[in-house]
Amino acid sequence: MKMRTAMGGGIAVLAAAAVLAAGVPQARAEFPEKPVEMTVLFGGTASTIAQVLSETMAGELGEPVVPVSRTGGGGAVGYSHVMATAPDGYSIVWNSNSVNTTAHIGRVPYSYEDFVPIARVSEETPALAVSAEKGWTGLQDMARAVSGSDDHLKVGISGKGSFTHLVSAALFDAMGIADNVTFIAYGDGKAPVELLAGRIDAAIQWPGQFKSYLDSGDLNVLAVTGAKRIDLLPDVPTAQEQGVDIDITMWRGLAAPKGTPAPVVARLAAAAEAATQSEEFRKAAGNIGFMPAYAGPEEFAAVIARDDAFYAGLLDKLGLGK
Amino acid sequence: MEMFLHAAQLALDPWAVGAVGLGTFIGLVFGSIPGLTFTVALALALPITFAMDSIPATGLLLGTYIGGMTGGSVSAILLGIPGTPSAAATVIDGHPMAKRGEASIALGAAVVASVFGGLFSLLVMIVSVNLVSRLAIGFGPAEIFALVVFGLSTICGLCGGSMLKGLLSGVVGLMIMTVGMDQIEGVPRMTFGSISLMQGVSLLVAMIGLFAVPFIIEASSGTGGAADARATRVRAEMPGLRLLMSKGWLMVRCALLGTGIGAIPGTGGAIASFLAYDHARRMSPEKASFGKGNLDGVIAPETANNAVTGGTMIPLLSLGIPGDPATAIVLAGLMIHGISPGPALFMNHATEVYGMYAAIVLAYFWVLGLQLAGIRLFVHVLKIPRELLAAGVLVLCLIGAWSVRNSVFDIYAMGVIGVLAYLLVALRVPITPIILGMVLGPTIENEFRTALMLSGGSSDIFLHSPVALLFLGLAALVIVLQTVGELRLRAYKQKVNA
């Protein structure tokens, strides 16, 4: 660190002059001077969004942003790696509310407080799908059909303690049919097929998975679990519109190890904000099925803290808390 | 038809042809080099496609996928180190052929078989995508579990001498895969509180350790006397047309098998190639020559694993389900270009779908051209002194193991598994069943548990499904035939000795 400052001295004077001319505060000129590494915790959409984000952010920062995949352990591997790196802004993590859920399930030596929030970048809203053959068109149809029978509703989830599990549990609890539900864990991405084949009755997954099946008329999507409808499925009402009080979405954002200097965080947040407004990022959002949802460091911190309390309560209720 | 011509025009645009060629080349290089895998190549190629039009972009990804699947056979045959898990079965007979100086024949046959398998499966896919995807939907957890049990039963045929040692080795593979986060309950297993162990052992890393490390240890410990003998016998003789024609029926059977397996979500290239290998061995009049360099033992798995490429396209395009990590990256590439796979794909994106078909055909022409030209060069690898080759392989394996998950843990994992593999080789325990156990372990466990969740804990779910019963029956048949065969052989030997 010291050596870099000494060596960079001469260049910094020149750079500062150039940057001052452009009207950017001097403190930000020092960062970044080398590539920023962005640890990605999951495959699938998480990884795809990260790649689009890093390309657009690199354009803003003038240095490459390199997405590096460190998957496994429900995000534990990647979070632990980033937590152990120097808090200088060159190692950041593409995080999600998995930081809250894994911490409360209690098998990891960190919590959200070990990271400095940089910015919330995107939001994904889960959707509840059922086979079109069921003839259910809304949550009330489903609740009536289920509570009137002894049969248990088979609900597909990605795995115990996974986000889809938590959302499902919260939704069915709010609908008052929590006791009539059996959860079935299956591999990621298989929800539509299991529904079509009739092996499960309902599944909560990302809307992108259901889109094509909704278009073809094979599946009905009864509700999205956020407070607002989503662009990908504009005709699908929210749970709240149907009288079920629930508002759960999954955010993704960027965080750095605790102790990262505020000006560096601000610089990264500015780059993330510009990226979320770019044409390229918005187009990818439409195609993949997520919403760009920028929130600066302070607002993001509030979101994380609020979620943390929410998931602590939910996991406790499900008997999954530590 | 008009749409098809339009798509063909887009796919035959010089940029698109070049993109497919580039992808195929990248895939072949990553697939051929021991240690580097084409899943990594796909991950590297994905960001390049963001700025491209949808048809060249999907062409680049499909080319990488197909090139990688084909390239895996090169180091499997030349060095006995499979480039991909799907090529693990090719080692068994391909490598002995190389030792005999017939490397180019094995490689040539592998390329032709791969191209045949790939194009055959594409044809099946185009003709029957809707029908097959409807059938694939019928494969629930119970059916997939039974299919995987059948796949696991092929261990019987991989044992070499002793069935006990083969089973032992298969169980080691199954056990290794229980390390890490359990996917169903989300509970860490065998991690001893270590975060690194929570990610589990990567199949690709283990494969590098199992096959490459024993090679490196042997080569550098001075047991390379055979090397000079080999070097003098390097020829670049290609398999004749007549020879290949005589294997036509075998290729058709294995291509059908590969397409079928590929179409079932959650299976993939490795299980198809092992089943095809086992099938070829059982049907062959010269069973005894398998494992010692029988050409059928190269052709069968190579046809089947490339037939899987067309097969996996069926659930990928018509159901939106990726069959393995490699196709998951292809799926991401499609999504980013607004092509969302599923039943409405053929309504909304018919042009792109036809473009993909054209790209796959093109990729196989590239594979054929590049590989047939390349083989003449590849065989000269055998002239390199083994200890120097081992040094190079070591470097590539370290890079390869690290690059799978960007994790230093994986380098240690490769080392530990490699030393274990070396010891097993020294004890004459076959190591191929380990890789089979590792490939099938997570699937067999998860599908079994999911099936029982669906049935509320009752094992009836396996007995009430005709498909599941069929595969379980086939597995039982394989085990009985193998046991009877071995007992007879033992009795015969005793008689001869007495």
pLDDT per 10-residue tile (average), chain B, 498 residues: 77 89 94 84 89 90 93 91 90 92 91 95 89 86 92 80 85 93 86 88 91 90 54 66 89 94 81 92 87 93 92 87 83 88 84 90 94 87 86 92 89 94 91 90 92 92 94 92 83 82
**Residue-level pLDDT at B160:** 67
Q: What is the mean pLDDT of chain A?
A: 87
Interface of B with A in 140-159 (CB under 8 A): 140-141
pTM, rounded to two decimals: 0.87
ipTM, two decimals, is: 0.83
Biggest alpha carbon–alpha carbon distance for chain A: 78
In this model, does residue A28 exceed pLDDT 80?
Answer: no
Nearest CB among B325, B342, B454 relative to A212 is that of: B342
Percentage of chain A lying above the pLDDT 70 cut: 90
Cβ–Cβ below 8 Å for A187 and B449 = no
Pairing of strands A127-131, A219-224: antiparallel
The confidence band for A3, taking pLDDT boundaries of 50, 70 and 90, is: very low
Mind telling me how many Å the CA of A187 is from chain B's nearest CA? 8
**Residue-level pLDDT at A29:** 54
Question: Is the peptide bond prior to A263 cis by the omega test (within 30 degrees of 0)?
Answer: no
Q: Which residues contact A233 (CB under 8 A, 6 or more apart)?
A: A127, A207, A210, A211, A214, A221, A224
Residues A110-134, mean pLDDT to the nearest whole number: 94
A317 contacts A257 by C-beta, under 8 angstroms: no
> Per DSSP, what are the bridge partners of residue A67?
A38
CA–CA separation, A184 and A206 (whole Å): 17
Residues of B in contact with A212 (CB under 8 A): 320, 340-345, 348
Residues of A in contact with B180 (CB under 8 A): 72-73
Structure token pair of residue A31: 């960062």
Structure token pair of residue B147: 């299919």
Tens of pLDDT, residue by residue over B64-120, are 999 998 898 999 999 999 988 889 999 999 999 998 888 899 999 999 999 999 999
Residue A237: DSSP 8-state: P
| CA nearest neighbour of B281 among B298, B268, B269 | B298
For chain A, first and last CA: distance in Å?
Answer: 40
Cβ–Cβ below 8 Å for B140 and A197 = yes
Is some CB atom of chain B closer than 8 A to the CB atom of A47? yes
**Residue-level pLDDT at B253:** 95
**Residue-level pLDDT at A142:** 93
A69 contacts A43 by C-beta, under 8 angstroms: yes
Cβ–Cβ below 8 Å for B321 and A44 = no
Residue in B with minimal Cα distance to A196? B137
Interface of A with B in 85-144 (CB under 8 A): 105, 107-109
Q: Which residues contact B138 (CB under 8 A, 6 or more apart)?
A: A197, B467
Is some CB atom of chain A closer than 8 A to the CB atom of B415? no
Residue in B with minimal Cα distance to A201? B454
CA–CA separation, A274 and B256 (whole Å): 51
Give one DSSP letter per residue of A44-93, joined into a string: HHHHHHHHHHHHHHHHHHSS-EEEEE---GGGHHHHHHHHTS-SSSSEEE
Interface of A with B in 200-219 (CB under 8 A): 200, 208-209, 211-213, 215-216, 218
Mind telling me how many Å the CA of B178 is from chain A's nearest CA? 13
Residue in A with minimal Cα distance to B454? A184
Helices (H), ranges, A176-296 = 191-197, 207-216, 262-277, 279-288
Cβ–Cβ below 8 Å for A77 and B196 = yes
Nearest CB among B336, B342, B406 relative to A69 is that of: B406
In this model, does residue A7 exceed pLDDT 70?
Answer: no
Structure token pair of residue A234: 């504009």
The confidence band for A15, taking pLDDT boundaries of 50, 70 and 90, is: very low
Structure token pair of residue B380: 């000269």
Ordered domains of chain A (ranges, CATH): 35-124+249-317 (3.40.190.150), 127-242 (3.40.190.10)
Is some CB atom of chain A closer than 8 A to the CB atom of B457? no
Tens of pLDDT, residue by residue over A41-90, are 988 888 889 999 999 999 999 999 999 989 888 888 899 999 999 999 99
The confidence band for A6, taking pLDDT boundaries of 50, 70 and 90, is: very low
The confidence band for A175, taking pLDDT boundaries of 50, 70 and 90, is: very high
- Hey, is A321 helix, strand or coil? coil
Mind telling me how many Å the CA of A264 is from chain B's nearest CA? 25
The confidence band for A25, taking pLDDT boundaries of 50, 70 and 90, is: very low
